[in-house]
Amino acid sequence: EQKQTRKLRRPRTRECEEAEMNVLTKSVEEQLPAGPRICILGSTAFWNEATEPLVKALACRLSSSLRDSNAVILTGGMTGVQEVMAKGLADRGFVRLVNLVHLGHESGFNAGEDLAAGLDAAERRKVFGRLGDVYLCIEGGPGVAEEANMAFENGAFVLPIPSTGGASSGAFNFPQAALERPRCVSPEEWASFSTDGHPEEVASTVVKVLSRYLEEEAKKSGELLKGASNEEITSARGHSIVSC
């Protein structure tokens, strides 16, 4: 009588998991509109009372500056910062907005397009951390810190707003190198991100920094950030004016 031999499944190696994640990321990337990608990271609930007005101001400024450009804005389909940002962008006519969700999940924003990016939340976070050119971080907990670390390791420009607190101020093992002033940001601009300034002024500075970075990176690759509005109406005192 012959003994049946049991086939042993070889455990998945880290290299195998990495290869599978690369395939998944590429598949998602191919479904996104072409253009530079700005990812929004943030808390699922607002802990700082100054944060929600800032997010609304950022949505207004981003839409005004990038509405006619080829830039794409991505969220993870979460409540809080991402939901307010997505709705604010959509309300102002920004259409290149995609919410990356895991299979069977919906953002429920009624803003932008939902796109499946993984079987579960963990896979979705890994994909999200690989796709962006820029990551704007507002408040956040351990999940935001994890995604910011992945993004930073993948060479993305991670821009935290420390005044909002949480991961963006350095908690939860947020990448410390991302808390140092980037070369494309002036000392005055960087300082404004760490103080509770007027939401409109902080938002204006953030969008200027993001646009500047994307334009510099586009020139390096021989492509241009198409259609971005670099000129803002200014008052007699030199302050930017955008009607939100």
Q: What is the reported pLDDT for 8?
A: 53
In a domain, 5, yes or no: no
Main-chain dihedrals φ then ψ at residue 84, nearest 5 degrees: -65, -40
- Residues of the domain holding 112: 38-220
Q: Starting from the edge strand earliest in sequence, which strands make up the sheet with 157-161, in order?
A: 113-116, 97-101, 72-75, 37-42, 134-138, 157-161
Give the chain's radius of gyration (CA, Å).
20
Residues comprising the chain, all counted: 244
- The dihedral through the CA atoms of 194, 132, 54, 63 has a sign that is positive
Q: In this structure, what token pair is assigned to residue 10?
A: 């070889």
Alpha-carbon span 45 to 40, nearest angstrom: 14
0.85 cut: is pTM over it?
A: yes
In a domain, 228, yes or no: no
| pLDDT tens across the length of the chain (244 residues) | 555 555 555 566 878 888 889 999 999 999 999 999 999 999 999 999 999 999 999 999 999 999 888 999 999 999 999 999 999 999 999 999 999 999 999 999 999 999 999 999 999 999 999 999 999 999 999 999 999 999 999 999 999 999 999 999 999 999 999 999 999 999 999 999 999 889 999 999 999 999 999 988 888 766 556 666 654 433 333 333 343 4
In a domain, 212, yes or no: yes
Alpha-carbon span 145 to 41, nearest angstrom: 9
Q: What is the reported pLDDT for 239?
A: 36
Burial class from Cβ neighbours inside 10 Å (0-12, 13-18, 19+) for residue 3 reads exposed
Look at residues 136, 140, 161 and name the one whose alpha carbon lies nearest to residue 36. Answer: 136
Q: What is the reported pLDDT for 230?
A: 53
In a domain, 154, yes or no: yes
Q: What is the reported pLDDT for 18?
A: 84
User: Following DSSP, what letter does each residue of 125-162 receive, concatenated?
Assistant: HHHHHHH-SEEEEES--HHHHHHHHHHHHTT-EEEEEG
**Structural domains of the chain, count:** 1
Main-chain dihedrals φ then ψ at residue 58, nearest 5 degrees: -65, -40
Q: Give the position of tokens 């999200």.
A: 128
In a domain, 8, yes or no: no
- For position 103, which CATH number holds? 3.40.50.450
DSSP bridge pairs for 135: 39, 158
Main-chain dihedrals φ then ψ at residue 39, nearest 5 degrees: -100, 140
In a domain, 15, yes or no: no
In a domain, 205, yes or no: yes
In a domain, 225, yes or no: no
CB atoms within 10 A of CB 231: 6
